[in-house]
Each structure stands twice: as C-alpha cells, then as structure tokens.
Chains A and B, each alone.
Chain A
Amino acid sequence: MSPRKFSFARGLLWVAAAIALALGVDRLAVNWVNPYFYRILVLCGLNVMLALSLNLVNGITGQFSIGHAGFMAVGAYASAAFTVYAVPRLFGVDADASGLAIVGPLLLALLVGGLTSAIAGFLVGLPSMRLRGDYLAIVTLGFGEIIRVAILNIDAVGGARGFAGIPRRTDLAWVIAGALATWVVLRNLLRSYHGRAFLAIREDEIAAEALGVPTTRYKVTAFVIAAFFAGVAGGLFAHYTYLHTNSFTFMKSIEVIVMVVLGGMGSLLGSVLGATVLTALPEALRFASSERLIIYSLLLIVLMIARPQGILGKTEGKRRK
C-alpha cells in the first residue's frame, strides 16, 4: 500500500459525502418504512458501532473484554447527564428544540460520553499490564457490573427509576454517521503502523514485545479507543430511547461479543455483518414468538461448531490451542 498524502480538501469531501449519505438514508427510511423497521435500523447501527469497537479489543488486539456494555453505559449516562444538566445552561437550547439547533449540543454530548467512557477504558485497560486471558476478561466483566450497580445508586441520573427527561435527539442519520465514523477510524487505524502493532500483539505477544512493540501501551490504547466509540454509541442510545441500566447488563456485553465472533474476529466487515444479522435475526424469528430465542441459541451453537471462525473470519488467523 503506498502512503497517500493527506489532503484536507479530500477529507472534507468525504465527510460531506458521509453526512449526505446519512441524511439521505434517513429521509428514505422515514418515508418508506414503518416506525418499527426504522427502530430496528437504528438499533442495527448502534450495534454496528459496538461490534466494530469491541472488535478492536477482542479481534484485532487479541485481548478479551466481556464488559463492553459497561462502556456503553458510561457513555450513555455521561452524555445524557450533559444534555440534561449542562446544555440548557451552556447553549440555552431547551428540551424540545429540533433541527440545526441541536446539532452542536448533541455532538458535544456525544463527545462528552465518548471521552468519559474512554477514561473508563483507560482505567480498565490498566490491569492488562498484569492480567491476561480469562483473568482480564473477568475484570472487564466485573467492571461492567460495578458500573451498572454504581449508576443504579446515583439519584441524579434516575437510579432504579431510569433516567427520564432526556430529549429524543438521535435519528437514523446520526446513527449512520456514527457507524461510518467508527468504521473509517478503525479501518484507517488498522492499515497504519499502529494497526500492525495491534495485530502483532494478537498473533504473538512475546514476539511483539521482543520486536520493540510497547505491548502494554497498545493494549491500553485499544481499550481506550474501543471504549470511546462504545461511549458514543451509548450517547446516541441515550438520546433515542428510554434509558435504564437494564439495557447494559452482562447479556448486552455477551450479545456484542457474539456479533464480533459470528462476523469473524478481526474482520471489520464481519462485525458490521454480524451486528446486522444478530439484530435482525431475533426480529425475523418473531413468527415463532415463544420459540425464537430457543432457535436463536441453537443456531449459535450450530454455527460455532460448523464455522468457528465466523462468517467472514479467515482460517489462517486461527490460533493454536
């Protein structure tokens, strides 16, 4: 791959194209599909963001996080709290504003969510200096649960009642833009010098260390970046629907892992596909209402036995043992 010179004009053009695409799809969806389907599309987009970001930790860097919902929760509550408590004072934008007036505040709220979550990601990434494999996994699980219980006990964000009064500002356009941004950042990261370092850690951590890759720093970085995007996804979620800690249980983390693994570890396109399929599949199985989750779980087992590398995973990436 020959390095291309960074062109500001071209970058701006891409951003404009992405925004146009997001808005266009949103307009189309609003006019052509029913609200139920629209909602599924939004959730698909959010899950794509979550799966892509988790893939950086689990698939690309070869670490094992099972607490991704915790980062989503941090982002969701931080950005929601920002919107509810800070935005009216800073911008004078009240809850029922719409149109261009909300672009700035929402963007800032998402950034707050992402950054808060990134700080959490830094803290969770730190133990990776000492812990590996299953132990690191269990710490991330613990983090997810602690965050959930902690939020449940903060009264300013609603506690067990759920956080009410957040203006609904997220629409499909925002979610598509978020998913595109996640995709572009991760794709470019993966193709860069740093991306090679992440992959090297996955393939053989000791060899990577011996070749001068600062493995700890990269592992923590992977957690921080992944947490940032999960936080942004959480922020979008908070401004879309009812916000309660029940949306961020251990099962949510598992759901995202399954998306990543099903799509193929380390494959970005795979994560997109996995997230889409696994958001749509339970809905598609609705005809068999009470059996659908039984079918879903059986499909999962059969898929793992038949195609353990996931739909788009590469066989050569398979690790020994």
Chain B
Amino acid sequence: MQELFQQLANGIAWGSIYALIALGYTMVYGILRLINFAHGDVYMVGAFAAYYIASATGAGGARASLPMALLVLLGAMLVSALLGMLIEFFAYRPVRRSSRLTALITAIGVSLFLENAGLRLFGADPKFFPQLIPPRRITLAGGVIVTNHQITVVAVSILLMIALTLFIQRTRTGKAMRAVAFNRDAASLMGIPVNRIITITFAIGSALAAAAGVLVGLTNPKIEPLMGIMPGIKAFVAAVLGGIGSIPGAVIGGLVMGVSEYLVVGYVSSTYRDAIAFVILILVLLIRPAGLLGRNVAEKV
C-alpha cells in the first residue's frame, strides 16, 4: 500500500510536468491545428536558459533563495516565450496557408534545428542543474517520502494552470484566443487581430514549457540538448489522450501519463516505461476517438 502511494506521489509530480508541456501543445493545436514538434525543444531551451541565468546570478550557489529561484523561473519563461514568438514568426507564419503536412515538416525542421543548435551551443555532455532550492525529504503519513522539490513542482504547476485558466476565461485576450480557436476566419472578420493572438498563444505555451523545464531541472538535475524529445512526444500524447484543444484535458492527460509511467516502473519493469503511455493512448483512442474530454466533431458532408 505504501509502495502504491509512493509511486502515485512520484507519478503526480512527473505528470504535472507533462501537463505543463501538454498545455502548450493543446493551445497551439487548438488554434493552428499544428502539432508543434518543436515544443519539446522549447522546454529544453527553457531548462538551459534557467541554467545560464542561475549561473550568472549565483542563484544556484551562494545566493540561493526563494526570490532568486523565482527570478530564474521567470527569466527562463521570458526567454522561451521570445523563442516561441520567433519560431512562430519566422517558420510557422510563412507556411500557415500551406497544407498541414507542410507545416508539420516545418515544425520537425525547427525541432531538429533547436536540437542541433543546442548541441553546438550548450555542448553534448549533460550539465548539472543548479540547486535553486536546497533539497529536503519530507515523510508523509503512511511512510510516503516526497521531496520539497516534488511539492514545488506540483504547487507551481497548479498555480500556472489556475493562472492560465483565469487568463483564458476572464480576459479579453483569452476570449479572443477562444474565438480564434473556434473559427479563425470568423474571428478575423469580427476584428480580432488573429496574428497577434497566435503570437500570444505561442508565447504563453512556450513560457509554460520553460516552467516545466525549470521544474524538471529541480527534480532531475541533469540537462542536455536532447532532453526535450521524449517528454515532448509524451506530452503531446498526453494532450491527445485528454482531448486535444481542451485545457483540462491536457492536465488530466499529463497526470494519467505520469502516474501510469510510475506504476509501470514500480510494478512491472522500468524498461516498459516508454511503451505504457502509447498503450493507454491507443486503448483510449479506440474507445473514445476524440480523447477523454474532447468533443466529437461531426463530419461535414
């Protein structure tokens, strides 16, 4: 029983990270119908941005404190948001009217570019992410051990998700985003600056991915330029699992993925960790083709 709760705790912490990355996928997909393959690499850049900011400011060593950690987090989110906007402007905007496959290949190109530029700039050897917050182990009731890092991961994720939900539901820009996602052409006719909304979407999604990168750095302090590939794919699967385009769906999908991975690691074998996500995905899609929370769109004839 204790083992089960332990794996659940680990899974929820890891799942929150998937959820944060999945949010970016689902937002971009909702608006552009584009699988933004570069998203996992934006997450990687976020982790590296935090690494360099922490090294430059000393937030990882002598001057480690909560405000400094927050500064690193915000800095990394800003860098990635800018990167996301640049990617959208230079790579995705020119192919927006082309076929979806063209856009997809462009996204793959951007992804390869970021990975290889990362290998060149940051080096292929893994870097050790600075300890922004000194690690501590906390024993919960029933003998379940969590680290304060895991709690931070879950807390920051929840805060960001609440902020995102409020932003999308309560602000004018959020309303415009929903309108563009619903029908881009009609939104444009209603005077919504579609280009600006798409840019904002990329900025927010990329910032969330960067936050995930920083949080991963906290819990698994080894970062390298190819770290974004697998989490990127799995977060996308999480988004599809939850119903792509749906924000609560992305969160649920991410948590399901994280928890099921840890259950497989705990009870089956860690070598099957990368497969379980896809097994669940295929099962869910066969039963509910639109994902857990996705709406079934009737086909127009």
Contact = CB atoms under 8 A, between A and B. Distances in A.
Interface of A: 58, 64, 127, 130-131, 134-135, 137-139, 141-143, 145-146, 149-150, 152-153, 160, 206, 250-251, 254, 257-258, 261-262, 265, 290-291, 293-294, 296-298, 300-301, 304-305, 308, 318-319, 321
Interface in B219-276: 229, 233, 236-237, 240, 244, 269, 271-272, 274-275
Given A134-B35, A305-B106, A290 B120 contact: yes
Q: Is the interface of B mostly helix, strand, loop or mixed?
A: helix
Question: Which of B29, B112, B240 has its CB near the most chain A CB atoms (within 10 A)?
Answer: B112
A130 B286 CA distance: 7
Interface in B267-301: 269, 271-272, 274-275, 277-279, 281-282, 285-286, 289-290, 299, 301
B285 A258 contact: no
A82 B282 CA distance: 29
Given A153-B271, A291-B120, A294-B113, A142 B95 contact: no
Contacts of B100: 321
A158 to B, nearest CB: 14
B106 A257 contact: no
A59 to B, nearest CB: 9
A212 B200 CA distance: 46
Q: Is the interface of A mostly helix, strand, loop or mixed?
A: helix
24 contacts: A58-B101, A131-B285, A131-B289, A139-B282, A142-B281, A145-B274, A145-B275, A149-B275, A153-B269, A206-B301, A261-B101, A261-B102, A262-B105, A291-B120, A293-B116, A294-B120, A301-B106, A301-B109, A304-B102, A304-B105, A304-B109, A305-B91, A305-B106, A308-B95
Contacts of A257: 105, 108
Given A127-B286, A138-B236, A141-B233, A301 B275 contact: no
B240 A138 contact: yes
Interface of B: 29, 33, 35, 91, 94-95, 98-102, 105-106, 108-110, 112-113, 116-117, 119-120, 229, 233, 236-237, 240, 244, 269, 271-272, 274-275, 277-279, 281-282, 285-286, 289-290, 299, 301
Contacts of B285: 127, 130-131, 135, 138-139
B94 A305 contact: yes
A149 to B, nearest CB: 4
B278 A145 contact: yes
Contacts of B113: 294, 297-298, 301
Contacts, number: 118
Nearest to B244: A134
A291 B112 CA distance: 12
Contacts of B281: 138-139, 142
A298 B116 CA distance: 11
B272 A153 contact: yes
A201 to B, nearest CB: 14
A146 B105 contact: no
Nearest to A295: B116
Contacts of A141: 233, 237, 278
Contacts of B106: 300-301, 304-305
Nearest to A131: B289
A91 to B, nearest CB: 35
A153 B270 CA distance: 11
A304 B116 contact: no
B301 to A, nearest CB: 6
Contacts of A265: 101
Contacts of A143: 278, 282
B110 to A, nearest CB: 6
Contact of A149 (B95, B109, B240, B274): B274
A64 B33 CA distance: 14
B275 A150 contact: yes
B137 to A, nearest CB: 32
Contact of B109 (A138, A146, A298, A308): A298
